[in-house]
């Protein structure tokens, strides 16, 4: 019995080994009529899928528009997007497949910082350029041909708190006390605590500016019961609540505070899911957050008809895909930028030679619809001077309020 | 004051934990099925409440009229399946885990992975609360606690006082012998499966009242719900309730006094300790098992 | 064993060559990454199977080892500049210590079995994850990026290197699992899986073997975790301490089969490649649905896993593979190499499952009526001479809470005696048997066997001193043949030996109880009488000085009782002292050399059968209630 199964196994192994030479012979050969294939993964299922979907819709719209306008270098562009299931281990595997097996011409980053870091290692091994949407923590992104589509400058951990405090300092009654609520997630905690040996963050900057930190709470990303956090904030009753959290953290905290009959005077949320906050109605009015772009009328007017068209089309597609929040904002903008970085470089070099693409971006930068001309300096990990703004919920909508020259409406102060 | 408030809020949210755990505990103790698909039922119940409330604009609590019967049928169907397959306790865990994965993926395909929550217009409960002096009781947790009390009291009375309840306890001890005494094992377990499904609907609705939904949340419940089941004693209705409150209070107080980050650490260390000292549960009086 | 080992080595060499010469063979580097991932999961599933499959201690905590392993490597190389190769052994040590801790706590308490153990292990990764989050000094709160390690140039590209590394780890893991299965440890773990108490009483040092399994599992899991860190390149709490890892290894173990070293390998290969193919066809939305369905359907239809089915029908499965693969290869109209391979493997699995279900292995003659020897008069040999005191109980008492199960019993048993232990229900007979065999410890008093104080000894040590017992309800090892049931007892007796050495000896003991014709059957096919005889054969196989028979005749018909009595006499004649607990006084009267009566925990009478049976106190206490005279 055992011998039989061994023989069977041996034959199977032999077949596999001899067969391995064959297969995947085609692909890779690029005649001029063949489409240019762009490969990437996105988290279409799993923990990051909520945002992954936004990037998918934005990317599809971009490719559609691009092909409608004649494609790239006269060739159609085809986007091969795979689902990494929000699993980092899958990301490196899939990028390896896109590059070495499917032999795609170009790649684009996945969504979420851990995934991007995994993809970056593969891109580096194969020398592909990697425009990426959403990893903002500059020192982590060490590959010189990685190009961020969303930049908070080289030190986001000090830029974000400083921008927030600057904005609030412009008010008649700047905050004197602050409560900092930090999610222990790699994508948020650095804004409170700094990164690596650089300990600058909201906590240290507040102290430095003479603002008293009356509550400093770190909570795990798996938190389900928000009442204890809300209780602490209520009792400290600060002028400002900073929530360096993600997703629906801010919603949960606001709601838990409301259940205690408490409303924060002013609150800032780092990377909240935009839709659920608006669904809170009056409760979230005045909430602050960071933004790269909001389709506010004055801003769209400044950018021109094309931007309006893109954002409107996106919303239609998002609605058709059953997304609950359909506005073209930061994440979609990052996606658009990434595509423009990629295609801009191809246009500038007239080909898909990765080395040339990388050099061209370093030398000439690229033009984007929503963030203007971007320049990439390898010394600051290619993070371009940030255009990030602060947005605020005003009358049930997100509006850019800071800095003043980019604002669509003035910053509203704390509640009475 | 903080600690008093945290204790009370914790106890109340413990009602929700108990509501989620009770079905799992009873099917495990009485029917010898570790039904992970229960988490899937809770999830689907929550999404149904959200969907019905938002698209028809009805009060989320009224959706129970739809979700409870639906989940009753689903629970009974699950139980029918487990009966048919005649699985061992451990294999039931694996099969139901397979079903849970499928349920979550289907939920995902239907409602997307995005955070869904009922808007303030349809859900007046999310932010409402009662206050007594400085102490505040959120309405959602009061509802959870109230429902848990009803389910626990009802379950306890049924299991103790009625023929069906005694028959179920007999099944728990030895289904073959119980069968010999004229207990219709099949029909009773279908009934119990249905009732357990109904509790999943209750838990789902209550959860959706105060939380944003995303399909993967179901996995996040594993830790705390199993903690409640184990601490309460498998198959112990009242014990599960007590354990729910204990877990709620413990994590609430640790979060306030120490930090929310420490809460899971303390909670799960406490569970290991409890498992070592009283593996049959802290509140076991010796009922179903 | 030799063939399996050579096959394993050969497979390893072929796969290693595949990696080393990948560029020459035209293997895209993606295939190496995929193979590396397959190897990682093979290592993990095998690590899990070492404990959870072999011994049945189902663990949900595999993420703890992956997490600790990955974190050790990531933090030390990424944040402290330690060389990658130094961190691997460190990860092994840390995970070994972690496993040691979990085992030391969990296995000390007999109550932590089954689901309780599973849930205990579920809590461990939660605690570790919380710990890593609380102590931001560990990973700086941001997760850790790994630098590319320095490795010898002849290993080729990074993809080749990481594949070869993962292959090496997988090979070590599978090698360990192979060795464990083919040595005494494997038999011990199977015995623990089937019935831990019985294993212990038969002389298996269960604690030691469970610790061995959990530590091996931890070390392998940790090493594979540390290589995993390299494969994913960036390590966060969420990516390594999550539920995905335990869930996947469980699915793989269940799919492939848990009782054989090849099981998890088959499971890992199938699941990883299938997932990859699904995603390449954009079917990710259905990926989890497939996975869930596979798990649910397989557990319900083939709980023993694919390996057992493949082994039952290897050629049919191979034919399925060759046909599907060959047709796709020749037609070359759909898909590519990997698709054909996966389709072929699925076909093989399907064929094996379907055919394996239909054709059960030919039923052995177990269904035949109990084989009772014809001759009723048989010379079983003279009973042994009565010798010195062998078992001493000095004022032994056992209280359960307020219940006094046994009260100051003092009793001597001499070598060569055949003692009938009687008494009404609840008189303390079984308690005494449990105390003697070490299943419970006395509240006070001393028990000595052959001069050794066994009062505080664990059961397996007592077995080695020379005591064996049977159970009222037979408890055979269900997954072993009748022969291996007995052989296991021999292997872990006073003279340790291998399964190969023990098997022929087992036949002898089976002959003693007249079960030799059923040596190849599974215990599930035996009737009650045959199971009782198997109990006896297994007990005498451990070469005891004293044998405790706990109601070995209960539930038998008169002919079977006669046969059993003959067997008992034969065992006695071979020189083994016997204590038999029995209700049938008629039988004891003619069998026992001495009768001991217990009543309400105390010694009521002790003497030769005639005297005891006519003792008025005995008649009142015992005969008044039981009418078995």
Q: What is the pLDDT of residues C468-483, one digit of tens each?
A: 999 888 899 998 999 9
Residue C150: the pLDDT is: 82
Q: Do the bridges between strand C418-422 and strand C577-581 make them parallel or antiparallel, or are there none, so unpaired?
A: parallel
Cβ–Cβ of A186/C142 closer than 8 Å? yes
Instruction: For residue C293, list chain B residues with Cβ-Cβ distance below 8 A.
Output: 98, 102
Q: How confident is the model at residue A8 (pLDDT cuts 50, 70, 90)?
A: low
Q: How confident is the model at residue C366 (pLDDT cuts 50, 70, 90)?
A: very low
Write out the DSSP string of C167-187: HHHHHHHHHHHHHHHTSHHHH
Residue B217: the pLDDT is: 83
Examine the pLDDT at C41 and tell me if it is beyond 80: yes
Q: What is the pLDDT of residues A333-383, one digit of tens each?
A: 999 999 999 999 999 999 999 999 999 999 999 999 999 999 999 999 999
What are the CA-CA distances from residue C256 to residues A276, C118, C278, C558 (Å)?
Answer: 44, 20, 20, 46
Listed range (B283-287, C152-156, C377-381) with the worst mean pLDDT: B283-287
Residue A66: the pLDDT is: 94
Cβ–Cβ of B224/A224 closer than 8 Å? yes
Distance from the C309 Cα atom to the nearest Cα atom in chain A, whole angstroms: 11
Residue from C103, C115, C293 to probe the interface with B (highest B Cβ count within 10 Å):
C115
Q: What is the pLDDT of residues A215-272, one digit of tens each?
A: 999 998 888 888 889 988 998 999 999 999 988 899 889 988 988 888 999 999 998 8
Cβ–Cβ of B126/A273 closer than 8 Å? no
Residue A20: the pLDDT is: 45
Examine the pLDDT at C164 and tell me if it is beyond 90: yes
Find residue A393's DSSP bridge partners.
A398
List, in sequence order, every beta strand (DSSP E) within C361-449.
389-400, 403-414, 418-422, 444-449
Q: Which is nearest to B77 in space by CA: B115, B37, B114?
A: B37
Q: Name the DSSP class of B63.
A: G
Listed range (A309-313, C85-89, C422-426, C518-522) with the worst mean pLDDT: C422-426
Q: Give the list of residues 6+ apart from residue C307 with CB closer than 8 angstroms, or none.
A: C256, C257, C260, C262, C263, C266
Residue A129: the pLDDT is: 95
SS3 at position A399: strand
User: In what order do the strands lie in the sheet containing C389-400?
Assistant: C403-414, C389-400, C444-449, C452-453
Q: What is the pLDDT of residues C556-610, one digit of tens each?
A: 888 888 888 888 998 999 889 999 998 777 888 888 899 998 888 888 888 888 8
Examine the pLDDT at C371 and tell me if it is beyond 70: no
88-127 of A, contacting C, C-beta below 8 A: 88-94, 96-97, 99-101, 113-114, 117-118, 121, 125
Residue A10: the pLDDT is: 57
Find residue C419's DSSP bridge partners.
C579, C594
Looking at per-residue pLDDT, the higher value among C527 and A32 belongs to C527
Residue B58: the pLDDT is: 87
Q: How confident is the model at residue C365 (pLDDT cuts 50, 70, 90)?
A: very low
Examine the pLDDT at C627 and tell me if it is beyond 80: no
Examine the pLDDT at A72 and tell me if it is beyond 50: yes
State chain C's mean pLDDT as an integer. Answer: 86
Residue C308: the pLDDT is: 86
Q: What is the pLDDT of residues C512-563, one digit of tens each?
A: 888 888 999 999 888 888 998 999 999 999 889 999 998 888 788 888 888 8
Q: Name the DSSP class of A99.
A: I
Residue B268: the pLDDT is: 84
The reply to whether ipTM tops 0.85 is: no
Cβ atoms within 10 Å, residue A313? 15
Length in residues, chain B = 289
Residue A5: the pLDDT is: 56
Examine the pLDDT at C106 and tell me if it is beyond 60: yes
SS3 at position B5: helix
Distance from the B14 Cα atom to the nearest Cα atom in chain A, whole angstroms: 10
Q: What is the pLDDT of residues A177-222, one digit of tens each?
A: 999 999 988 888 899 988 878 889 999 999 999 999 999 999 988 8
Listed range (A6-20, C105-119, C516-530) with the worst mean pLDDT: A6-20
Listed range (B47-51, B129-133, C134-138, C527-531) with the worst mean pLDDT: C134-138
Residue C367: the pLDDT is: 43
Q: What is the pLDDT of residues C483-507, one digit of tens each?
A: 999 999 999 988 888 999 999 999 9
Six-digit token pair at C609?
């059968």
Per-residue burial over C531-563, b if 16 or more Cβ lie within 10 Å, else e, is: bbbbbbbbbbbbbbbbbbbbbbbeebeeebbbb
Region A111-140: what's the mean pLDDT? 90
Distance from the A137 Cα atom to the nearest Cα atom in chain C, whole angstroms: 10
Listed range (B90-99, B268-277, C401-410) with the worst mean pLDDT: B268-277
How much of chain C exceeds pLDDT 70, in percent?
A: 94
Helices (H), B86-216: 89-111, 139-161, 163-173, 175-180, 185-210
Residue A288: the pLDDT is: 95
| Cα-based angle A281, A273, A408 (whole degrees, multiple of 5) | 70
- Touching subunits of B (3+ CB pairs, under 8 Å) are A, C
Q: How confident is the model at residue A286 (pLDDT cuts 50, 70, 90)?
A: very high
Q: Which is nearest to C526 in space by CA: C583, C563, C475?
A: C475
Residue B272: the pLDDT is: 80
Per-residue burial over C139-155, b if 16 or more Cβ lie within 10 Å, else e, is: bbbbbbbbeebebeeee
Q: Name the DSSP class of C478.
A: T
Q: What is the pLDDT of residues C234-291, one digit of tens each?
A: 888 888 888 778 888 988 988 888 889 999 999 999 999 988 888 777 777 787 888 8
Q: How confident is the model at residue B65 (pLDDT cuts 50, 70, 90)?
A: very high
Examine the pLDDT at A168 and tell me if it is beyond 50: yes
Cβ–Cβ of B120/A227 closer than 8 Å? no
Cβ–Cβ of C28/A193 closer than 8 Å? no
Residue B176: the pLDDT is: 66
Q: How confident is the model at residue C375 (pLDDT cuts 50, 70, 90)?
A: very low
Distance from the C59 Cα atom to the nearest Cα atom in chain B, whole angstroms: 12
Beta carbons of B152 and B241 less than 8 angstroms apart: yes
Examine the pLDDT at C217 and tell me if it is beyond 90: yes
Looking at per-residue pLDDT, the higher value among C18 and C214 belongs to C214
Examine the pLDDT at C131 and tell me if it is beyond 70: yes
Nearest CB among B87, B105, B222 relative to C289 is that of: B105
Distance from the B171 Cα atom to the nearest Cα atom in chain C, whole angstroms: 20
Residue A21: the pLDDT is: 43
pTM of whole model > 0.95?
A: no
Positive or negative: CA dihedral A348, A353, A358, A360 = negative
Cβ–Cβ of C116/B97 closer than 8 Å? no
Cβ–Cβ of A99/C30 closer than 8 Å? yes
252-311 of A, contacting C, C-beta below 8 A: none
Cβ–Cβ of C131/B222 closer than 8 Å? no
Nearest CB among A4, A21, A221 relative to C25 is that of: A21
**Alpha-carbon gap, residue C552 to C539, rounded angstroms:** 12
Q: How far is it between the farthest Cα atoms of chain B? A: 59
**Alpha-carbon gap, residue C370 to C562, rounded angstroms:** 13
Chain A nearest-CA residue for C318: A8
Looking at per-residue pLDDT, the higher value among A147 and B119 belongs to A147
What are the CA-CA distances from residue C510 to residues A52, C196, C513, C533, C543 (Å)?
Answer: 66, 22, 5, 9, 13
Residue B182: the pLDDT is: 64
Looking at per-residue pLDDT, the higher value among B172 and C127 belongs to C127
């Amino acid at each position: 019995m055992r011998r039989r199964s061994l023989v069977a196994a041996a034959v199977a192994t032999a077949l596999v080994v001899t067969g391995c030479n064959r297969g995947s012979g085609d692909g890779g050969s690029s005649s001029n009529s063949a489409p240019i294939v762009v490969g990437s993964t996105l988290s279409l299922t799993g923990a990051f899928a909520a945002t992954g979907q936004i990037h998918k819709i934005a990317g599809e719209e971009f490719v559609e528009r691009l092909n409608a306008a004649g494609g790239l270098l006269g060739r159609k562009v085809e986007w091969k997007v795979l689902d990494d299931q929000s699993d980092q281990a899958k990301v490196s595997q899939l990028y390896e497949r896109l590059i070495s097996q499917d032999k795609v011409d170009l790649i684009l980053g996945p969504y979420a910082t851990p995934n991007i870091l995994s993809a970056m290692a593969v891109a580096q091994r194969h020398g592909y350029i990697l425009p990426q949407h959403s990893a903002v923590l500059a020192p982590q992104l060490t590959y010189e041909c990685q190009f961020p589509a969303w930049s908070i400058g080289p030190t986001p951990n000090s830029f974000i708190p400083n921008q927030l405090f600057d904005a609030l300092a412009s008010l008649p009654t700047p905050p004197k006390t602050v409560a900092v609520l930090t999610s222990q997630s790699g994508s948020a905690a650095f804004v409170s605590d700094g990164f690596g040996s650089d300990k600058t963050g909201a906590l240290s900057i507040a102290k430095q500016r003479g603002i008293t930190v009356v509550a400093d709470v770190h909570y795990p990303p798996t938190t389900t019961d928000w009442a204890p956090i809300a209780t602490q904030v209520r009792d400290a009753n600060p002028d400002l609540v900073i929530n360096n959290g993600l997703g629906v953290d801010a919603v949960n905290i606001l709601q838990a505070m409301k259940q205690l009959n408490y409303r924060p005077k002013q609150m800032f949320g780092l990377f909240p899911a935009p839709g659920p906050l608006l669904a809170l109605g009056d409760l979230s009015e005045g909430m602050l957050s960071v933004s790269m772009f909001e389709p506010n009328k004055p801003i769209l007017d400044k950018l021109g008809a094309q931007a309006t068209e893109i954002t409107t089309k996106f919303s239609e597609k998002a609605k058709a895909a059953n997304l609950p929040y359909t506005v073209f904002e930061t994440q979609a903008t990052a996606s658009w930028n990434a595509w423009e970085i990629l295609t801009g470089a191809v246009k500038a070099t007239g080909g898909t030679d990765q080395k040339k693409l990388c050099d061209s971006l370093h030398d000439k930068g690229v033009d984007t619809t929503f963030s203007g001309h971007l320049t990439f300096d390898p010394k600051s990990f290619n993070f371009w001077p940030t255009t990030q703004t602060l947005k605020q919920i005003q009358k049930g909508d997100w509006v850019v309020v800071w800095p003043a020259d980019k604002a669509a409406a003035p910053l509203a102060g704390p509640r009475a | 004051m903080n600690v008093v408030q945290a204790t009370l809020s914790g106890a109340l949210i413990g009602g929700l934990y108990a509501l989620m755990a009770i079905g799992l505990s009873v099917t495990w103790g009485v029917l010898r099925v570790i039904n992970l698909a229960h988490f899937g039922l809770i999830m689907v119940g929550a999404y149904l409440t959200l969907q019905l409330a938002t698209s028809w604009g009805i009060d989320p609590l009224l959706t129970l009229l739809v979700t409870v019967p639906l989940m009753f049928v689903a629970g009974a169907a699950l139980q029918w399946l487990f009966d048919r397959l005649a699985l061992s306790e451990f294999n039931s865990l694996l099969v139901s885990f397979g079903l849970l994965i499928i349920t979550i993926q289907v939920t995902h395909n239907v409602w997307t992975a995005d955070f869904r929550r009922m808007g303030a217009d349809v859900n007046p409960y999310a932010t409402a609360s009662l206050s007594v002096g400085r102490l505040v009781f959120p309405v959602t947790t009061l509802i959870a606690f109230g429902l848990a009390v009803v389910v626990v009291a009802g379950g306890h009375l049924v299991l103790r006082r009625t023929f069906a309840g005694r028959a179920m306890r007999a099944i728990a001890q030895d289904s073959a012998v119980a069968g010999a005494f004229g207990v219709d094992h099949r029909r009773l377990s279908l009934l119990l499966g249905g009732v357990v499904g109904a509790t999943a609907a209750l838990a789902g609705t209550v959860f959706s009242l105060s939380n944003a939904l995303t399909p993967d949340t179901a996995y996040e419940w594993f830790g705390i719900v199993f903690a409640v089941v184990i601490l309460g004693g498998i198959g112990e209705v009242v014990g599960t309730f007590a354990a729910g409150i204990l877990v709620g209070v413990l994590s609430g107080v640790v979060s306030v006094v120490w930090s929310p980050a420490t809460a899971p650490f303390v909670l799960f260390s406490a569970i290991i300790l409890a498992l070592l000292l009283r593996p049959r549960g802290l509140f076991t009086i010796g009922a179903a098992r | 064993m030799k063939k399996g080992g050579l096959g394993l080595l050969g497979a390893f060499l072929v796969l290693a060559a595949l990696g080393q010469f990948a560029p020459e063979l035209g293997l895209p580097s993606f295939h190496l990454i995929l193979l590396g991932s397959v190897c990682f999961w093979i290592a993990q599933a095998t690590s899990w199977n070492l404990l959870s499959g072999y011994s049945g201690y189902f663990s949900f905590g595999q993420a703890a080892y992956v997490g600790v392993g990955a974190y050790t490597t990531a933090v030390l190389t990424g944040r402290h500049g330690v060389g990658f190769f130094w961190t691997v052994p460190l990860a092994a040590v840390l995970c070994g210590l972690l496993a040691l801790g979990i085992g030391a706590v969990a296995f000390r308490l007999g109550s932590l079995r089954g689901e309780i153990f599973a849930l205990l292990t579920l809590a461990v990764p939660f605690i570790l994850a919380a710990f890593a989050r609380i102590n931001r000094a560990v990973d700086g709160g941001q997760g850790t990026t790994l630098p590319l390690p320095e490795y010898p140039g002849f290993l080729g590209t990074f993809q080749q290197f990481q594949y070869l590394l993962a292959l090496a780890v997988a090979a070590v893991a599978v090698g360990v699992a192979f060795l464990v299965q083919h040595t005494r440890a494997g038999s011990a773990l199977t015995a623990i899986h089937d019935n831990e108490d019985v294993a212990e009483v038969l002389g298996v040092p269960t604690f030691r073997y469970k610790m061995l399994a959990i530590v091996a599992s931890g070390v392998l899991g940790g090493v594979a975790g540390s290589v995993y860190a390299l494969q994913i390149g960036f390590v966060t709490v969420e990516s390594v301490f999550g539920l995905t890892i335990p869930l996947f290894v469980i699915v793989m173990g269940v799919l492939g089969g848990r009782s054989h070293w090849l099981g998890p390998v088959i499971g890992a290969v199938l699941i990883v490649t299938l997932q990859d193919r699904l995603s390449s066809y954009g079917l990710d939305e259905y990926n989890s649905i497939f996975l869930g369905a596979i798990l649910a359907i397989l557990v319900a239809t083939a709980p023993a896993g694919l390996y057992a089915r493949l082994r039952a029908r290897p050629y049919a499965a191979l034919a399925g593979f060759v046909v599907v693969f060959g047709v796709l290869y020749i037609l070359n109209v759909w898909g590519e190499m990997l698709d054909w391979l996966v389709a072929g493997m699925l076909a093989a699995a399907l064929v094996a499952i379907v055919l394996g279900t239909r054709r059960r292995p030919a039923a052995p003659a177990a269904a035949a009526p109990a084989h009772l020897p014809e001759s009723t008069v048989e010379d079983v040999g003279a009973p042994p001479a009565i010798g010195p005191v062998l078992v001493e109980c000095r004022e032994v008492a056992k209280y359960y809470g307020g219940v006094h199960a046994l009260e100051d019993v003092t009793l001597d048993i001499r070598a060569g005696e055949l003692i009938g232990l009687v008494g009404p229900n609840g008189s303390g007979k079984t308690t005494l048997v449990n105390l003697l065999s070490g299943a419970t410890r006395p509240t006070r008093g001393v028990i000595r066997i052959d001069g050794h104080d066994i009062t505080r000894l664990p059961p397996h040590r007592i077995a080695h001193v020379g005591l064996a017992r049977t159970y009222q309800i037979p408890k055979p090892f269900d997954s072993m043949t009748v022969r291996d049931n007995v052989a296991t007892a021999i292997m872990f007796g006073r003279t340790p030996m291998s399964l190969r050495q023990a098997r022929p000896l087992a036949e002898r003991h089976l002959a003693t109880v007249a079960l030799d014709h059923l040596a190849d059957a599974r215990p599930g096919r035996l009737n009650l009488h045959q199971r009782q005889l198997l109990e006896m054969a297994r007990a005498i196989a451990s070469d005891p000085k004293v044998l405790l028979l706990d109601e070995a005749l209960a539930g038998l018909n008169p002919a079977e009782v006669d046969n059993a009595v003959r067997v008992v006499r034969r065992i006695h004649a071979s020189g083994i002292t016997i204590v038999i607990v029995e209700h049938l006084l008629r039988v004891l009267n003619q069998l026992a050399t001495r009768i001991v009566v217990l009543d309400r925990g105390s010694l009521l009478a002790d003497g030769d059968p005639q005297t005891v049976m006519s003792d008025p106190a005995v008649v009142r206490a015992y005969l008044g209630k039981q009418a078995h005279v």
